[in-house]
Amino acid sequence: MSGSGVERGQRAVFCGLTGIIWLHRKIQDAFFLIVGSRTCAHLMQSAAGVMVFAEPRFATAIIDERDLAGLADANAELDRIVKQLLARRPDIKLLFLVGSCPSEVIKLDLSRAAHRLSTQFSPAVRVLNYSGSGIETTFTQGEDACLSALVPDLPAADREQPANLLIVGALADVVEDQMRAVFAAMGISRVQFLPPRRSTQMPAIGPGTRYLLAQPFLADTARALEERSARRIDAPFPLGADGTSAWFKAAADAFGVDAGRFERATDAGRQRARGALGRYRELLAGKRIFFFPDSQLEIPLARFLAAELGMQILEIGTPYLHRAHMACELTALPAATPIVEGPHLDKQLDRCRELKPDLVVCGLGLANPLEALGIATKWSIELVFTPIQGFEQAADLAELFARPLVRRTRLVA
């Protein structure tokens, strides 16, 4: 178990718009229309970089003070943009209006706009809204806001049907396929994913739905699912050989899968993952790591690095600490691991400089100054863009931490 404290102070994080970069690739018939400023458009262009497709599935409708001379004009302008977009792109079945933080945009009521446009374009296109605003949020909260916007609209599960399992959190398709195969081997066949790959495959939920979080930053989505009577399965997150195993075991227990069948379904994957982690353990054991708060993946990552690779955790900064969702993770951390919720940036930087870690996990903004101090860094955003969940990805996850250390050794040698 760990020791934790709370600090409140300035932080340096990306905003929730960032989530669009992975969400637009996941839901293949959705489009994300950011209602924002030129700053938002620039952020998306530079963050998405080379990942933009020929026919991108996101764009920014730039609203500035001039447009808001009359709110009615701004709404008419938004309606005009949406109409034009949908006429040009009949492949769009689900349109998200994504709010942002500039004061001009905050004045616009996007939920009313979404309702109005949904009525107009239904049933061909559904229009929903959420906020990707950067005020007091972290970049992964964009996904939480997007998924929680989907939940009230999910179809109701048939009460006559047996319980179904819902995996919550955007995962790479390849990871989903691997997980589905393991659940099938355990005899759990009624498995769905949120978000789905297409808006026509929305999962049905109800009192018989048990859900398993695949990502640790989905507090609002979990709340919305519980309002629809779905029940969470308490589990760690599927990172590493043992973490993934425990995640599957939690589902197995919830669905009454016997121990023998669970072992048969998971043993090969677990052994492969443990074997692949061996050489990273040699590289990383004993290395000292420090986390700045960014993705909300910090606690599960630290648990994996300490328990499966023998790294020493100096401090875990996390933007928020959801004690219920993190319960299994917290008990698996080494005793007295310092956890600071919402750390004060300057104070945390002081602690980091003093402790001189071998590796720091942080946002992009901190990486260069820390590297200049001679500290190897890992960008936390990479851990969200890369498939890291499940048995087959355990070694890739370890590699992400080994690479900056190996590179630095080469530079120093």
Q: How far is the CB of 128 from ligand SF4 (least distance, A)?
A: 18
Q: How far is the CB of 30 from ligand SF4 (least distance, A)?
A: 19
Residues 198-227 that bind ligand SF4 (CB under 6 A): none
Residues 119-138 that bind ligand SF4 (CB under 6 A): 132-134
Q: 42 or 261, CB closer to ligand SF4? A: 42
Amino acid at 132: G
Distance CA 357, CA 198 (A): 43
Q: How far is the CB of 132 from ligand SF4 (least distance, A)?
A: 6
108 lies in the site for ligand SF4, by CB under 6 A: no
394 lies in the site for ligand SF4, by CB under 6 A: no
For residue 186 the two structure tokens come to: 């355990």
36 lies in the site for ligand SF4, by CB under 6 A: yes
Mapping DSSP onto H, E and C, the string for 155-168 reads CECCCCCCCEEEEE
For residue 321 the two structure tokens come to: 């600490």
Q: How far is the CB of 81 from ligand SF4 (least distance, A)?
A: 17
Helices (H) and strands (E) in the chain, counts: 16, 14
For residue 269 the two structure tokens come to: 């994957």
What are φ and ψ of residue 100, in 5° steps? -135, -170
Closest CA to 180 of 262, 274, 248, 273: 248
CB-CB contact of 38 with 157 (8 Å): no
Q: Which stretch binds ligand SF4 (CB under 6 A): 1-9, 37-45, 165-173, 301-309?
A: 37-45
Closest CA to 154 of 124, 195, 189, 188: 195
15 lies in the site for ligand SF4, by CB under 6 A: yes
Among 20, 96, 102, 292, binds ligand SF4 (CB under 6 A): 102
60 by DSSP, 3-state: which? strand
Ranked by CB distance to ligand SF4, the top (closest) residue is 134
Q: 2 or 100, CB closer to ligand SF4? A: 100
Instruction: List Cβ neighbours of 126 (8 Å cut-off, separation of 6 or more).
Output: 93, 94, 95, 118, 153, 199
Count residues contacting ligand SF4 (CB under 6 A)?
A: 13
17 lies in the site for ligand SF4, by CB under 6 A: yes
241 lies in the site for ligand SF4, by CB under 6 A: no
101 lies in the site for ligand SF4, by CB under 6 A: yes
The shares of helix, strand and coil residues in the chain, as percent rounded to the nearest 5, are 50, 15, 30
CB-CB contact of 304 with 239 (8 Å): yes
148 lies in the site for ligand SF4, by CB under 6 A: no
Q: Under the rule (CB under 6 A), what is the footprint of ligand SF4? A: 15, 17, 36-37, 39-40, 43, 100-102, 132-134
